[in-house]
Amino acid sequence: MLMSWWTRKTPSVTTEPEDERKLKTEGLWEKCDGCGQIIWKKDLEESLSVCTQCGFHFKLNAEERLNLLFDDGQWQEIDATLRSTDPLHFVDSKPYADRMVSMAKSTGHRDSIISAVGKIKGRRVQCCAFNMKFIGGSMGAVVGEKIVRAIERCLAERTPLLIISASGGARMQEGAVSLMQMARTSAALMKLDEAGLPFISLLTDPTTGGVTASFAMLGDLNIGEPGALIGFAGPRVIEQTIRQKLPAGFQRSEFLVEKGFLDAVVKRSELRDFLANAFHFFLGPVAQ
């Protein structure tokens, strides 16, 4: 009978538990929705969250956009304490008030828009930027109030306005109160126009509903990011309504430029220079 001459106390090959392998690689890679390329997250950050293979522009939150646009990523948030009063005491799958609390905890903000001031190539600019992660970037009373206050600061300080839209439209949980913000912001922008101060509207993916139907399309310049979905109703709703197949690229920013609904499509890497040149055109050189 054969006998074992030795006994191995430890195995020669070890296998990491599946959970530990996932933990080490989780969040380090991103898949491009445009071409399917798997991208190292650090490389993606260095390219301003734009795929180097196909040019697909990944979505950014409000803070990321402000950090990219303002000089040295320096900006000051204004009106951060404003929050909805839940005028309708709305309840769907859960009370609106509870939803707002959970959104505030997950995003660190009290509503879907950040109002900020900073400098773009040395010029002081008032800016409002949407965050899609807060109830789909929807527009309620707080959004309208922050935009109106930003316009009032522009009038007081003689500074231009930039709004970066990324929204599903008016917030249904606030009903007519939300829809009123369409007229309210449009009326305030008329005062900005009468004062000769420029408003540039940057529409990103997606910009839809009541936001598109009001201030987002009222800029002295309306510009879109490449590939951004921009419209009132979504393409699927339109197809089901008219029972026709829509043209290729319908409601994308490139399509809208061809049809005259946008003034330009600007790559993220060129956006700071484009905005600085546009403000220079409207207001002249920056005062030293």
Domain ranges in the chain?
60-283
pLDDT of residue 27: 75
Identify the segments of the chain with pLDDT beneath 50: 1-2
Q: Is the dihedral of CA 138, 94, 173, 208 positive or negative?
A: positive
pLDDT of residue 19: 55
Give bridge partners of residue 238 from the DSSP assignment. Answer: none
Comparing CA positions, the residue from 127, 131, 120, 183 lying closest to residue 151 is 127
End-to-end Cα distance, the chain: 96
In which element (H, E) is residue 203 found?
strand 199-207
Beta strands of 58-109 (E only): which ranges? 75-78
pTM over 0.85: yes
Cα angle at 94 between 91 and 96, to 5 degrees?
Answer: 55
Helix, strand or coil for residue 174? Answer: helix
pLDDT of residue 20: 53
Comparing CA positions, the residue from 144, 236, 155, 156 lying closest to residue 181 is 144
**Which tens digits make up the pLDDT trace of 185-242?**
999 999 999 999 999 999 999 999 999 999 999 999 999 999 999 999 989 999 999 9
Give bridge partners of residue 155 from the DSSP assignment. Answer: none
pLDDT of residue 210: 97
Give bridge partners of residue 167 from the DSSP assignment. Answer: 207
Are the beta carbons of 130 and 164 closer than 8 angstroms?
A: yes
Which CATH number is 60-283 given? 3.90.226.10
Task: Using DSSP bridges, classify how beta strands 199-207 and 113-120 pair: parallel, antiparallel or unpaired.
Answer: unpaired
